[in-house]
Amino acid sequence: MQADSAQTVLEATTTRSNGYLRLAAGLLQGCLLYLLHRANSGNAWPATDPLLFVPLLMASVLLPILLISSLGHIGGRKLALWMAVAAAVIVTLAWHDAWRRSGVQHPAGAGREDRLPSALVTVFSAAFFFIAHSLVMAGVQEGRRLAGYATYFETAWKLFIQAAFSVLFVAALWAMLSLGSGLFMLVKLDFLKLLLREAWFNAPVLCFAFACAMHITDVRPAIVRGIRTLLLVLMSWLLPVTVLLLAGFLGSLPFTGLETLWKTGHATIVLLGAAGTLVVLINAAYQNGEVEATVARAVRWSARIGALMLLPLVAIAIHALSLRVGDYGWSADRLIAAACLLVAVCYALGYACAAVQRGSWLRTLSLTNVGAAWLVLAVLLALFTPIADPARISVDSQMARLERGAVKADKFDYEYLKFEGARYGRAALERLKAATGPDAAIRRAGAAAALRKQYRGQQGEKAALSSADIGANLAVWPKGASLPESFPSAAWAGQRSNGVDLPLCLYQQGVHCDAFVLDLTGDGQADVLLVGEAPHVGAALLALRDGKWELAGRLPYFLSGCGELVAKLKAGQVKTVPKPLPDLEVDGTRIPVEAPERLQMKACK
């Protein structure tokens, strides 16, 4: 009896000491994040060095969470080893992310946008450490490197529910503090409102609250297990509905054909989402592999059918991606999709084998899930390190297409290299600035323009084109018409109208527009309606006023590149329509009044 009592006291003491350590870790995390925020806001060291600041920031976010979750489950040397390995991986991922987004030569005073981890690295690092931490925790619990599947299942779902409810608790706390601030403001006391604006208060309090919630959910495993069981049962009953919908989709393909699917341009993403949903719901029904007797027959059969459906879904997604790559080459998004498809192939093959095997229900599903978890870790490490950096591979692919003539120099997306190609893209643009040979002038101009831009679509400062170059950029309509004599020679360089850039075909060689010579302003003089071949070129109505060509009106962005509407413009199927409502003028200020009906754009061909 005394022994049992001592054991109970020992467990309580251990739990209490773990709680104190967790709360201390949360408070320390909040203080570190505040100091980093202060350095970033004040443009002080270490924020001035992104190669140091980004790893520090990611380590301050992720490492304390891993430590809080490990306390009481991993002890001594194993905990120190796991924290050291996790820190090394975090620093590697974060440093590479900061390095690849810096300039060709790392600038001494980089912009503040370079001081934060990219969204992709942030999301996928969280996914990486969730999987890795689940595998490590399960292995330590069983005292071996590869644990049993039931342990993996229990550990992963416990961590997921702990994290989800801890975030919910933090959100609820913030809502309560905001409510309290509102209550005090009713009596003209603004101390809490001012306090909630201060980072030195917010960061420690919220991190402390997160640590507190993690500890409470850890010492109440029965509650977590009950929530998990309810959640999985509810999710499992979505499986028959999902299988029915996917069966209808796959069954309709022989009648509709795949051409409509390819034209969407995002078939791979949608199919990957469907496959991922199917995997999650199958696992919600399968759970730890020991609940077959409690699962309804409809759910069990849906799981078998769904496991077989993964193969055609993944096969169609692979074909859709291959078509996009064949037409446009590799991009960073397509490489990430390819990595996801590699994991999806592992699931599809493993689940199909489990579905056709006799004996216990989907008995080899557990092997596939564990193998896929390790594969995901390997793929993520490759993608977010120099091993298989999507930016590097995509830049090489796009440059190879340009060199072999798969895309013409005047159609090449130089902005992709600048804004999606990271440092590899900027290095490629520097090489293009010194290009020689065919189309060298276009390549140099495109690269130089892209390097000057601060954001995608920025038109920037315009350089003058000769009258002949402007004339070569424009196809004049209707047939037989000619541009007004003064139009090509107008001083277009650097022109803007009310801060609005004019169409690119007036400034950039090799960028084409259709020029419609019409009198749309009703002043008896010919106006010029410019419509670009692609949406980024722009569309505008230009009119001669007081001997000077200027912007008379802007057109919707979708007109540029809309083959159907432009074809009707070329055929002369156009007329002016008076506005249904007049504008107002108040003390010299003109206020447009718009009708409630919105323009409905027809599908462009």
Per-residue HEC secondary structure of 475-527 comes to: EEECCCCCCCCCCCCCCCCCCEECCEECCHHHCCCCCCEEEEEECCCCCCCCE
Number of helices followed by number of strands (H, E) in the chain: 20, 9
Cα–Cα nearest to 334, from 311, 317, 309: 317
Cα–Cα nearest to 125, from 65, 58, 79, 70: 58
Residues 574, 566: Cα–Cα separation, whole Å: 10
Spell out the residues 6+ positions from residue 433 whose beta carbon is closer than 8 angstroms to its own. 444, 447, 448, 451
Contact 477, 517 (CB under 8 A): yes
Task: State pTM to two decimals.
Answer: 0.76
pLDDT tens per residue, range 504-517: 888 777 788 899 99
Taking only Cα atoms into account, the Rg of the chain, rounded to an integer number of angstroms, comes to: 31
- Looking at 366-518, which runs of residues are DSSP E strands? 474-477, 496-497, 500-501, 513-518
Q: Provide the Cα torsion 132, 133, 138, 144; round to 10°.
A: 60
Contact 133, 69 (CB under 8 A): yes
The amino acid occupying position 467 is S
Token match 């919630």: residue? 213
* First vs last C-alpha separation in the chain: 83
**DSSP state letter for 292:** G
The amino acid occupying position 122 is T
Residues 231, 40: Cα–Cα separation, whole Å: 41
pLDDT tens per residue, range 76-124: 899 999 999 999 999 999 999 999 988 533 333 444 556 889 999 999 9
Residues 95, 53: Cα–Cα separation, whole Å: 9
- Burial level of 593, CB count in 10 A (0-12/13-18/19+)? exposed
Cα–Cα nearest to 312, from 405, 381, 246, 383: 246
pLDDT beneath 70: ranges in the chain: 1-14, 103-114, 457-464, 490-501, 557-558, 560-561, 594-605
Spell out the residues 6+ positions from residue 93 whose beta carbon is closer than 8 angstroms to its own. 58, 121, 125, 128, 384, 385
pLDDT of residue 509: 76
pLDDT of residue 113: 56
Residues 26, 295: Cα–Cα separation, whole Å: 40
Give the DSSP per-residue string, 305-316: HHHHHHHHHHHH
pLDDT of residue 549: 84
Residues 320, 270: Cα–Cα separation, whole Å: 11
Give the DSSP per-residue string, 513-567: EEEEEE--SSSSS-EEEEEESSTTT-EEEEEEETTEEEEEEE--GGGTT-HHHHH
Per-residue HEC secondary structure of 24-55 comes to: HHHHHHHHHHHHHHHHHHCCCCCCCCHHHHHH
Q: Tell me how many degrees the CA angle 354-360-365 measures, rounded to the nearest 5.
A: 35
Write phi, then psi, for 555 (nearest 5 degrees): -120, 155
**Do the bridges between strand 474-477 and strand 513-518 make them parallel or antiparallel, or are there none, so unpaired?**
parallel
Spell out the residues 6+ positions from residue 250 whose beta carbon is closer than 8 angstroms to its own. 309, 312, 313
Ramachandran bin of 598, using left for φ above 0, alpha for ψ from -120 to 50, beta for the remaining angles: beta
pLDDT of residue 330: 96
Spell out the residues 6+ positions from residue 153 whose beta carbon is closer than 8 angstroms to its own. 287, 288, 289
Residues 43, 113: Cα–Cα separation, whole Å: 12
pLDDT of residue 490: 67
Contact 246, 313 (CB under 8 A): yes
pLDDT of residue 591: 78
pLDDT of residue 571: 84
pLDDT of residue 582: 82
